[in-house]
Amino acid sequence: MRRAAFFATIIVCFTDMKENIEVTRFENGLTILTETMPDVRSITLGFWLKTGSRHEPADLNGICHFIEHAVFKGTNKRSALDIAIETDRLGGNFDAFTSHENVGFMVKVVDNKLDPAFDLIADMLTNPVFDEKEMRRERRVIIEEMKMVEDSPEEYLGELFLNEFFPGSALGLPIEGTRKTVKNFNHAILSEFHKKNYSADNLIIAAAGNVEHQAIIDLANKFFAPESKIRKPETSDPTPKIAAPILLTKKRDLEQAHLILATPWIAAGDERRYAASLLTSILGDGNSSRLWQTIREKRGLAYSVGASANSFDDCGIFSIYAGTSPDKLGEVVDLSIAELKKIKRKGVSVEELNLAKEQTLASVLLGLEDSGSRAGSLAQMEITFGKLIPLEETLKRIETVTIEEIQALAEEFFQTEKLALAALGNLNGLKITRERLDVS
């Protein structure tokens, strides 16, 4: 059970072999997607909820994450121990996560364990009991998780930054909630939120591996009757206003200073997502990337440095991250700004673009070998686009990205007044002005 990492690269969605992919949409809104991989003996089965932390009211901040934990604590027919034992019996490959826009439950099993795996997850999601004694224990567990985040400089800085970058928006609130909100979650509050959001029309079931589509349909009918009443979840969240803060937070007990340099970015469904992914790769995703070479290889200023992007339904964030010695933080900021300025003014070379394309294409094709990647991709495409995107189309769109498209993105998003900066550590009186972030 985990919170989804915030700073993640843009997911490149894909499908393969159209005849092996099947989709069924029930009248009650439930969507089932499967991809058959006949040469494997495994199945990855996943349930995705189209609600995440950004859809929570402020006073319920953290409830999606809390319920993700709570469903493991017992149902009408299984105790918490029963669930733990069954999970281990299935192989122990059970993962659950909460992100800003989704909650997910995925299990990878041997193909002859599909029925018990489906029964387990479906029972957990449809019949949790939210026992008060168990919930009190789980509150303590989640508060310990909050402490763990606070002890992890990279994660803690990410939360501080988001709160300033998305002021007044649920996107700026921590996925796990706060001590104040979590302490208020009880059986009644959890049951009410679960009833409104864990409904068939808010759910996607995806499976990939040695699986038959009809088998998933038959199992789904046991728990999510096609004629069941649709309950529209409360998931309204307006497009956030994005700020450009300069946030310097002192934490003297850290050996390193941690940096985030960020700017608004494209939304998940934007047609420019292929060019955006390649631009991110060229700047900071890989050992040959500009930031890695400039900051780590040529100057030895950081062990961890790179760029990533995260796109939501209606907005996105491009970010540069680095951890360095406090007395070198200013230099790392200046070098990062210089790289943004350079790519904005001079663009990228043909060699850089071709290398990024090869790297991305390899990542897509290698992902085809894993049932977990395929199931996750099916669900992500359904959530983001409402349709499946053929592999051939994805590969072609990557291959046909031009230098001009990369340049246009850099010019649009790398703007001095839109750049945000956050730093955490023993900053030794460091001051960063807007003028120092000039990328014009």
Separation between Cα atoms, residue 340 and residue 318, nearest integer Å: 12
Give the containing element (helix H, strand E) for 394.
Answer: helix 391-399
Using the 8-state DSSP alphabet, how is residue 293 labeled? I
Q: How many residues does the chain have?
A: 440
User: Is 75 buried (19+), middle (13-18) or exposed (0-12) by CB count in 10 A?
Assistant: buried
For the packed helices 187-197 and 132-150, what is the interaxial angle rounded to 10 degrees? Answer: 80
Strand-pair partners of 302: 324
Separation between Cα atoms, residue 37 and residue 17, nearest integer Å: 10
**Tokens for 61?**
């901040």
Separation between Cα atoms, residue 410 and residue 418, nearest integer Å: 12
Per the rule left: phi > 0, alpha: psi between -120 and 50, beta: everything else, 294 is alpha
**Tokens for 250?**
């002192």
Separation between Cα atoms, residue 226 and residue 234, nearest integer Å: 21
Q: Catalytic annotation on 68?
A: yes
**Tokens for 309?**
């992007």
User: Which is catalytic among the residues 68, 101, 138, 155?
Assistant: 68
Give the containing element (helix H, strand E) for 313.
Answer: none
Separation between Cα atoms, residue 26 and residue 329, nearest integer Å: 54
CB 239 within 8 A of CB 288: no
Q: DSSP secondary structure string, 100-134?
A: SS-EEEEEEEEGGGHHHHHHHHHHHHH-B---HHH
Indicate which residues carry an active-site annotation.
68
